[in-house]
Structure 1
Amino acid sequence: MSSSSIFRAPKGIPDYYPPDSAAFTAVRDALTGAARLAGFGHIELPIFEDTALFARGVGESTDVVSKEMYTFDDRGDRSVTLRPEGTAGVMRAVIEHGLDRGALPVKLSYAGPFFRYERPQAGRYRQLQQVGVEAIGVDDPALDAEVIAVADAGFRELGLSGFRLEVTSLGDAECRPRYRQALQEFLFALPLDEETKRRAEINPLRVLDDKRADVRALTADAPLMRDHLCEGCKAHFDQVLGHLEAMGVPFEINPRMVRGLDYYTKTTFEFVHDGLGAQSGIGGGGRYDGLMAQLGGQELSGIGFGIGVDRTMLAMGAEGIAVAGARARCEVFGVPLGDAATREMVVLGRNLRAAGIRVDMAYGGRGLKGAMKAADKSGARFALVLGERDLEQGVVGIKDLSTGEQTPVDLGAAVTEVRDRLG
């Protein structure tokens, strides 16, 4: 087969394979573990949903819906979309299964792939891996602070320190319309290009997030949402900040923050790591008080976040952090020499796995040198060396691969001895 005919992964979709997959799993588990400690239960979401769910929930004017979604008709001519984010799907599940009829808040966490058609670059993939949480049904500043603190704890559990938390408030249905009008009046007076003017008509907040230097210069004196908050939103935001201070979660107020989804209200936040260059966001979220009613459910509030596993791994690389908990694929590696030894090693490997020990072994009748080379590459702590003479004596050699020391142990006691040595 020629090199040009070899199948490759679709553009912008990374593969994670050993040994890097161990680091990926450890990062994902650390982030979801922080959520479990705060009482969030796991929810497994469909990979694709009805396209209308995202159009209505995320917002038809957003880049996500208008430019980035993977949408197609299935065999029943139904329009479905690979999920671009998690909140709308969680909300759909909560409404469909009546989870909002029980104790509130409903606290759910999820992890998995999400899909957006974007120009692939470092830290920006078309299949992105995320961990997310949603807390639905209670409008309480303490809950906002807890959600933010869960994300902060997940990053710190991984050893990250070079990130910062940016927070703001985007107001609510009472104060945001007045701010929108003030912002539009300001923007319409500027010499903006036609596309930006259209954006100002549909969603003027997005103009503040424009990365072009000339647009940023024109909007430098634009009115800010924080200066137009109603008393209720201002009090809510002040309480969130107070709770974060009490918990020792450092933050910066960013009054120009704009999130990419339409449903955000009140508390909005983003975690930023400057070691990643232009794609500096590693996670973020906010409150979405009108989303459930918009999707046909009760008038209940909610708050959540999405953290990029891929981005978090890049941030750890930028800080030179080795992933704690990224385990080698096995702890013990079997080195059988001969057919009889292989039969015995297969049984010994099964017994070790039954005791909770990760075991691999050399296959294909390798000689001692080749088998030991495989043992070294496996990352195992110990090799079990078994030859014909060992079988006659009823022993197996346990070799410490870090020191090279090897000691014979009775075959019947091998599982206990290995378990004791591994602690």
Structure 2
Amino acid sequence: MEIKAPRGTQDILPKEAKKWEYVENKIKGICEDFHFEEIRTPVFEHTEVFARGVGDTTDIVQKEMYTFEDRGGRSLTLRPEGTASVTRAFVENKLYGDPNQPVKLYYFAQMFRYERPQQGRMRQLNQFGVEVLGSADPAVDAEVIDLAMTVYQKLGLTSLKLVINSLGDTESRKKHREALINHFSPHKEELCRDCQTRLEQNPMRVLDCKTDRNHPAMKTAPSILDYLNEESSNYFEQVKEYLDLMNISYEVDPNLVRGLDYYNHTAFEIMSEAEGFGAITTLAGGGRYNGLTEQLGGPNTPGIGFGMGIERLLMALEAEKVEIPVKDELDCYIVSLGELPKKEAVRLVHELRINGIQVDQDYQGRKIKAQFKAADRYHTKFVLVLGEDELEKQVINVKDMATGEQIEVPLQQLVTTMKEKLIGGK
């Protein structure tokens, strides 16, 4: 039997991992600029967290979760999304009592969804997300959207489209729900099986169906914007005003509903319009979820957030031919010749490393020519040659691989010399 990675998962090999590291570090820096702090939650939760938080009528809960029983008979689920987990942590750890409000959090996390794997959509996916809990200010909605757009723009993406909508408050959604049921009921038998169920449980999600997107009834479906009460309408207008003040371009799409039950008021998606990116253009999505903390046992606390897939971000960078500046070189490589020089090389490698210098050596017992070839494959800046003669004189030959210049350096001065050559004597 040939053992491979499970379907819908992938290995991220060292060269590719450097790109991931660059992107993640860039994002972390942007989060710090926006005064967000990192949170890390367990990779699995009690199933009820997602059933109650995400919504038991959603595709995620009904079809896509990896759920299992532990030895105590408790139902646990691998995390399919981040908001419910972060909100659970917010409630459990009483972060609502923190004097600094709102609580602004970000995370990098692996998510697990049982769905058909395709390019940029895996069963184990990596996601960056943010959550702001404790404020119902429309300016926070605009800030969260601004953060997402800033991430993409700072990384070099230009072919972006921001789409926004308002899902309204409970009163507005109730009226819209009734209108949708009245509109789609005559066509119920023409809809896919999922939408027939959605029409009874959560009719707004019929608008998000990929199967029935071209059905004539979709084009004439009642718009949520026509059912917003005055409070919801004013809220949406303020969000748009703040986006205008930040010169963030957007389109309003009344059919943008998102696939999770907890959303209300602001909903948004960011899409790639890069040529050749693929049929699934969404890069990030999110919105406001006032009331979620109550469903998870906490006090009434407004919240808003988004999630973006790192895999899809990297795909977008590739589609726009954005080069990720990753380091693919080595500071020093020690070539040792003989048993005693090899022992001294082990000591020198340790000493250089604890002084912040990147260094490696041969562990294959290769001859000098092969060791130099290895150093060349690592794009090494300086090769340090230590043989019996050098060891006897307590010196080492330092060769600059860019210029070919070679000097003799006393072993006791090696660290100082290399710091001067590499990092300006830091």
* Pairwise TM-score range, normalised by the shorter structure: over 0.9
Corresponding residue for 1:220?
Answer: 219
TM-superposition CA deviations, 1:235-259 (whole Å, max 9, x none): 2222222222222333222221121
The AA in structure 1 aligned to 2:299 is Q
2:267 is aligned with 1:271: no
Deviation at 1:144, TM superposition (A): 1.1
1:137-164 Cα deviation digits (max 9, x unpaired): 1101111111111122222222222222
Which moves more between the two structures, 45-54 or 348-357?
348-357
> Where do residues 186-197 of structure 1 align in structure 2 (5 Å cutoff)?
186-190=183-187, 192-193=190-191, 195=193, 196-197=195-196
The equivalent residue for 1:282 is 283
Shift of 1:329: 7.1
Please name the residue that 1:302 is paired with.
303
The Cα offsets for residues 46-84 of structure 1, whole Å up to 9 and x where unpaired, read as 010000110000001111000000000011111000000
CA shift for structure 1 position 342: 2.0
Q: Determine the C-alpha separation between the residues in 2 that align with 1:249 and 1:410.
A: 59
Which residue type is aligned with residue 6 of structure 2?
P
Q: How does 1:136-147 map to 2 (within 5 A)?
A: 136-147=133-144
Give the corresponding residue for 1:198. 197
Cα pair distance change 1:342/1:157, threshold 3 Å = farther
Letter in 1 for 2:395: V
Q: In 2, Cα distance between the equivalents of 1:217 and 1:404?
A: 72
Q: Is the 8 A contact 2:192 2:212 kept in 1?
A: no
- SS of match in other structure, 1:331: strand
CA RMSD between the two structures: 1.9
Contact 2:269 2:284 in 1 (8 A): yes
Tell me which residue corresponds to 2:323: 322
Q: 1:397 to 1:77 in 2, by over 3 A?
A: same
Q: Which moved further from structure 2: 234-243 or 190-199?
A: 190-199
- Consecutive unaligned residues of structure 2, counting only runs of 5 or more, are none
1:32–1:131 contact (8 Å) kept in structure 2: no
* Distance in 1 separating the partners of 2:402 and 2:118: 39
| Structure 1: distance between partners of 2:243 and 2:336 | 57
Deviations 1:295-329 (A, max 9, x none): 111111001111111111111111122223x3337
Deviations 1:233-285 (A, max 9, x none): 22222222222222233322222112121111111111111343122222221
1:359 matched to 2:359? The reply is yes
| TM-score normalised by L of structure 2 | 0.93
Q: Where do 1:13-412 residues align within 5 Å?
A: 13-103=9-99, 104-190=101-187, 192-193=190-191, 195=193, 196-212=195-211, 215-275=214-274, 276-324=277-325, 326-328=326-328, 330-412=330-412
CA displacement, residues 376-408 of structure 1 (integer Å, 9 cap, x when unaligned): 332443332323333234333333344444443
Measured after TM superposition, the shift of residue 91 of structure 1 is: 0.8
Overall identity of the aligned pairs, in %: 44
Cα distance in structure 1, aligned partners of 2:117 and 2:268: 25
Query: 1: distance between equivalents of 2:262 and 2:223?
Result: 18
Return the alpha-carbon distance in structure 2 between the equivalents of residues 401 and 368 of structure 1. 15
SS of 2:315's equivalent in the other structure is helix
1:240, 1:231 → 2: CA distance? 14
Q: Distance in 2 between matches of 1:115 and 1:385?
A: 49
Output the CA distance in 2 between the equivalents of 1:387 and 1:102: 62
Is the 1:109–1:133 Cα contact (8 Å) retained in structure 2?
Answer: yes
**Are the aligned partners of 2:329 and 2:381 in contact in 1 as well (CA < 8 Å)?**
no
Classify the secondary structure of the residue corresponding to 2:347: helix
Change (3 A) 1:76 1:160: same
Contact 1:168/1:253 (8 A) holds in 2: yes
Count of residues paired in the alignment: 418
Aligned residue type for 1:6: E
